[in-house]
C-alpha cells in the first residue's frame, strides 16, 4: 500500500518544489484572506460602535441644551416668585402692624 509520503518521494524534485510552492502560496493567500475578513469585521464593529456613541452623544447634547434652557427659564421664574413673595411678606407684615396699632388705639 502506497502512502502519501511514498507518492511524494516518487515525484520529481521539480514537481515537488512546484507543489510545495503552490501549497505555501495557497496557505499565505488563505491566511491573508482570513486576516482581511477579520480586520473588516473589526473595522465594521468599530464603526458601528462609533456611530452608536456619536448618535447617543448628539441626543444627550440636545437634551442638555433643552435642560439648560429650562433651568434658565425656571431660575428667572423663581426670581420673580421670590420677589413677589418678599413684597407680599412685607405688605403682610405692614398690614399686621397697622392692625395692631388700630387695635391698640381702639383700646386706649
pLDDT, one tens digit per residue, over 5-59 is 888 888 899 999 999 999 999 999 999 999 999 999 999 999 999 999 999 999 9
- As a whole number of angstroms, the distance between CA 101 and CA 70 comes to 46
| pLDDT above 80 (res 73) | yes
Residue 26 grid coordinates: 495557497
Q: What is the reported pTM?
A: 0.57
pLDDT of residue 11: 87
- As a whole number of angstroms, the distance between CA 41 and CA 15 comes to 39
Amino acid at each position: 500500500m502506497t502512502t502519501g509520503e511514498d507518492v511524494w518521494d516518487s515525484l520529481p524534485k521539480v514537481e515537488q518544489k512546484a507543489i510545495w510552492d503552490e501549497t505555501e502560496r495557497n496557505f499565505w493567500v488563505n491566511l491573508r484572506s482570513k486576516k482581511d475578513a477579520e480586520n473588516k469585521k473589526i473595522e465594521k464593529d468599530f464603526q458601528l460602535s462609533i456611530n452608536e456613541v456619536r448618535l447617543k452623544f448628539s441626543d444627550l447634547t440636545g437634551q442638555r441644551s433643552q435642560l439648560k434652557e429650562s433651568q434658565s427659564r425656571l431660575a428667572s421664574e423663581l426670581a420673580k416668585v421670590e420677589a413677589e413673595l418678599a413684597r407680599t411678606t412685607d405688605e403682610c407684615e405692614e398690614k399686621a402692624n397697622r392692625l395692631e396699632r388700630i387695635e391698640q388705639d381702639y383700646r386706649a
